[in-house]
């Protein structure tokens, strides 16, 4: 099907061709011919990003009689953002049809300018309900000549409390007009508007009612509340080309998540209700032109954000109103592209997943937050790809080549590769070198739902097992403790298992102190640990593991000063202290038992290079 076959005029076809639209999208195919007939009310159930602006915009422009200098079309939409966007799109569709004058009216902008533009002879008004009512009150806007009213994102407008404004506006339009209503979801209030203000509407549904685009992968990841940020970071790092939107339920969370991301070196910012319009515009511009890679927003602030090419939508907790999920997820996979929507939820709230699944009529896939290994693997692939693809500016670097050659002549090819890769890659290695598995199991499964408790419970169970059955158990000392970031026994166990490859079940009682720990181990395991761990480093400090005959008598008087016989590596040296100081300044770390399998790689596709 072509745009011509849909019945559009040549001027409009020329405009869509200039925009690079090759074929009509499904909603355009189903909608444009119906609306061009001009004799029906219409309901279109479609998500944002499906091409619905053109689906109503092109027929609306085609219907405009440019010789009749009066308002003939009114488009109502929920937010200033969307208002500006629709106006921009429609202006580009009408580029080759002379005499079409589209004016946007929205709050937070100079009303006198808008009045002046309307008075110049508007024939299409695109407005938010509040400002439209305001201008009606000032007698600047009169709708008695309007033949078509479009209600775009009707569900959002009602959600935002515009029901009375919409009713008032509709009542100011003539009885002969036609109403075209677009909505992503069909809650009862929207149905009521359709019943009360529309006559036998032609209804088109793209996908299923309330559904999101077919090309969105809906996923959820079970992590504890305190690991939501870590999980988010891992997903971001795992997808080097991602361009994402993170939804938070509260302004405070949005601000906190954005601040943390910025502190960790990401191009991120927050969009929430505490910002002034100017700040909001500045953040949105940065996001639109990709200066920001990640925008963290509240549901309310993100209304009307229609930015193309968003690859990922993250949900820090599911929204209070389950229907908002559809809107959130619909910010990705626009214009026929694909996208991923990932909800980061704690197992205790996982019951809400079912509600979302019901809402979108689709299953959500349980995925794991990528492990450090997954991320580093992915990043290195990306780095190598970038090196492969980089355009060499031979002329530009020529003047420096002699100097470069002189400086690097002593390195072998292998060393050079290692050094150049390290420049980019050390950051990831450092961040994830001790990162364990932060994924939790669904509630009711063996592992429970709070990692800290779970780990302690698990080691508790292990203690029982060891004291019951394993008379031959030995104790092993390791010069790593709470000051290295291990908050509980489960975390240090995870680290040890990850580093040494031993099975966690072969470790029994764990005594965790500030700067060292003791582990009860089954026969043969101590030797394995000693062999695997000795010589490894933690924050540049050498790890020391050895058999201990002593029963720990509790922590030494000053917990930062272990008993001398347990001092290990260089921790007690100034170098060790310096390292510890660095750790303390860094972000709080979480360690857990590691699952370094690459399962996540299956769940995330590679994205565009940065
Ligand atoms: P919308 O759902 O109207 O917000 O449109 C989403 C994006 O798709 C916008 O950037 C449009 O410019 C673009 N678009 C709309 N229709 C088409 C089409 N037929 N082919 C390609 N892109 C389109």
Summarised one tens digit per residue, pLDDT across range 339-379 is: 999 999 998 888 899 999 988 888 999 999 998 888 988 88
User: What's the pLDDT score for residue 304?
Assistant: 67
Does position 139 have pLDDT exceeding 50, yes or no? yes
Q: Whose CA is nearest to atom 14 of ligand 1?
A: 51
Nearest atom of ligand 1 to the alpha carbon of 85: 4
Report pLDDT for 213. Answer: 63
Helix (H, G, I), strand (E, B) or coil at 126: strand
CA 334 to ligand 1: nearest atom: 6
Residue 20 has pLDDT above 80, yes or no: yes
Residues 497-516, mean pLDDT to the nearest whole number = 81
What one-character DSSP code corresponds to residue 293? S
- Determine the 3-state secondary structure of 512 from DSSP: strand
Q: How far apart are CA 192 and CA 198, in angstroms?
A: 10
- CA of residue 20 to ligand 1 center, whole Å: 10
Whole-number Cα distances in Å, 452 to 220, 444, 519, 551, 586: 21, 16, 18, 25, 21
Statement: residue 389 has pLDDT above 50: yes
pLDDT of 243 reads 95
Residue 76, C-beta contacts closer than 8 angstroms, at least 6 positions apart: 127, 128, 129, 132, 149, 150, 151, 152, 157, 166, 169
**Model pLDDT for residues 152-188, shown as the tens digit of each residue:** 999 889 888 899 999 999 999 999 999 999 998 888 8
Evaluate the CA torsion angle 143, 144, 146, 151 in order and state its sign.
positive
Q: Please give the span between the terminal C-alpha atoms of the chain, in angstroms, as a whole number.
A: 35
> What DSSP assignment string belongs to 200-269?
S-EEEESSSTTPPPTTEEEEEEE--GGGHHHHHHHHHHH-TT--EEEEESSHHHHHHHHHHHHHTT--EE
The pLDDT, as a whole number, for residue 299 is 87
Poorest-confidence range of 244-258, 460-474, 488-502? Answer: 460-474
- Ligand 1 mean position, distance from CA 104 (Å): 20
Asked if pLDDT for residue 122 goes beyond 60, the answer is: yes
User: What are the boundaries of each domain within the chain?
Assistant: 4-205, 216-371, 373-432, 461-607
Query: pLDDT > 90: what percent of the chain?
Result: 45
Q: Which tokens in the block code for residue 537?
A: 């480093």
Ligand 1 nearest-atom number relative to CA 25: 19
The pLDDT of residue 458 is: 37
The reported pLDDT for the residue numbered 19 is: 93
- Band (pLDDT 50/70/90 cuts) for residue 549 is low
Band of residue 206 on the pLDDT scale cut at 50, 70, 90: confident
State which fold the 461-607 domain adopts: Alpha-Beta Plaits (3.30.70)
**Protein residues whose CB sits closer than 6 Å to any atom of ligand 1:** 21, 24-25, 28, 48-54, 89, 306, 308, 334-335
**Token digits of residue 454:** 């779970």
**163-171 vs 129-137: helix axis angle to the nearest 10?**
50
Domain 4-205 indexed as CATH 3.40.50.300: yes
Nearest CA residue ID for atom 22, ligand 1 = 21
- Calculate how far, in angstroms, residue 191's C-alpha sits from the geometric centre of ligand 1: 26
Cα(346) to ligand 1 centroid in Å equals 36
**pLDDT surpasses 60 at 6:** yes
Position 312 pLDDT exceeds 60: yes
Q: Does domain 216-371 have CATH number 3.40.50.300?
A: yes
pLDDT at 535: 81
Average pLDDT rounded to a whole number, residues 476-497: 83
The atom of ligand 1 lying closest to the CA of 50 is 2
Q: Specify the 3-state DSSP secondary structure of 489.
A: helix
Domains 216-371 and 461-607 share a fold: no
């Amino acid at each position: 099907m072509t745009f011509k076959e849909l019945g559009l005029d040549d001027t409009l076809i020329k405009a869509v061709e200039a925009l690079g639209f090759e074929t009509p999208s499904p909603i355009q195919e189903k909608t444009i011919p119906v609306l061009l007939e001009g004799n029906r009310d219409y309901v279109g159930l479609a998500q944002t990003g499906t091409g619905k602006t053109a689906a109503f915009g092109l027929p609306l422009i085609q219907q405009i009689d440019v010789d009749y200098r009066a308002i003939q079309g009114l488009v109502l939409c929920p937010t200033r953002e969307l208002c500006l966007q629709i106006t921009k799109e429609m202006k580009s569709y009408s580029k080759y049809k002379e005499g079409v004058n589209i004016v946007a009216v929205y709050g937070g902008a100079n009303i006198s300018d808008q009045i002046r533009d309307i008075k110049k002879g508007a024939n299409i008004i695109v407005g938010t309900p509040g400002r439209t009512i305001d201008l009606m009150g000032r007698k600047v806007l009169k709708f008695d000549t309007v033949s078509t009213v479009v209600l775009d994102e009707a569900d959002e407008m009602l959600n935002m409390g515009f029901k009375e404004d919409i009713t008032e506006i509709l009542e100011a339009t003539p009885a002969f007009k036609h109403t075209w209503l677009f909505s992503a979801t069909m809650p009862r209030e929207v149905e009521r508007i359709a019943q009360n203000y529309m006559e036998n509407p032609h209804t088109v549904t793209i996908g299923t009612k309330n559904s999101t685009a077919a090309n969105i992968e809906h996923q959820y990841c079970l992590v504890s509340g305190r690991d939501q940020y870590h999980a988010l970071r891992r997903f971001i790092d795992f997808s080097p080309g991602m361009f994402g939107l993170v939804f938070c339920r509260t302004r405070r969370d949005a601000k906190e998540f954005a601040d943390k991301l910025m502190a960790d070196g990401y191009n991120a910012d927050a969009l929430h209700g505490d910002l002034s319009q100017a700040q909001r515009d500045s953040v949105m511009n940065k996001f639109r032109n990709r200066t920001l890679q990640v925008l963290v927003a509240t549901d309310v602030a993100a209304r009307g954000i229609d930015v193309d090419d968003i690859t990922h939508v993250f949900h820090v907790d599911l929204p209070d109103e389950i229907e908002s999920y559809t809107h959130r997820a619909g910010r990705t996979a626009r214009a026929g592209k694909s996208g991923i929507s990932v909800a980061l939820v704690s197992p205790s709230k996982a019951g809400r997943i079912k509600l979302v699944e019901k809402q979108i009529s689709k299953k959500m896939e349980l995925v794991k937050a990528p492990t450090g290994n997954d991320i580093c693997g992915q990043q290195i692939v990306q780095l190598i790809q970038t090196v492969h693809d980089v355009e060499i500016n031979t002329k530009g670097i020529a003047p420096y080549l002699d100097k470069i050659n002189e400086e690097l002549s002593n390195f072998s090819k292998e060393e050079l590769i290692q050094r150049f890769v390290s420049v980019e890659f050390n950051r990831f290695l450092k961040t994830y070198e001790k990162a364990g598995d932060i994924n939790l199991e669904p509630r009711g499964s063996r592992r429970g739902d709070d990692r800290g408790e779970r780990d302690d419970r698990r080691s508790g169970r292990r203690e029982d097992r060891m004291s019951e059955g394993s008379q031959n158990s030995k104790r092993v000392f390791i010069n790593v403790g709470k000051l290295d970031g291990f908050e509980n026994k489960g975390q240090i166990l995870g680290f040890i298992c990850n580093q040494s490859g031993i099975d966690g079940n072969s470790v029994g009682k764990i005594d965790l102190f500030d700067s060292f720990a003791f582990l009860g181990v089954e026969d043969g395991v101590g030797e394995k640990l000693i062999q695997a761990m000795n010589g490894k480093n933690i924050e540049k400090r050498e790890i020391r593991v050895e058999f201990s005959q002593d029963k720990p008598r509790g922590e030494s008087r000053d917990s930062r000063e272990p008993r001398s016989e347990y001092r290990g590596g260089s921790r007690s040296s100034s170098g060790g202290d310096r390292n510890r100081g660095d750790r303390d300044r860094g972000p709080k770390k979480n360690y857990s038992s590691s699952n370094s399998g690459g399962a996540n790689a299956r769940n995330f596709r590679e994205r565009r290079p940065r």
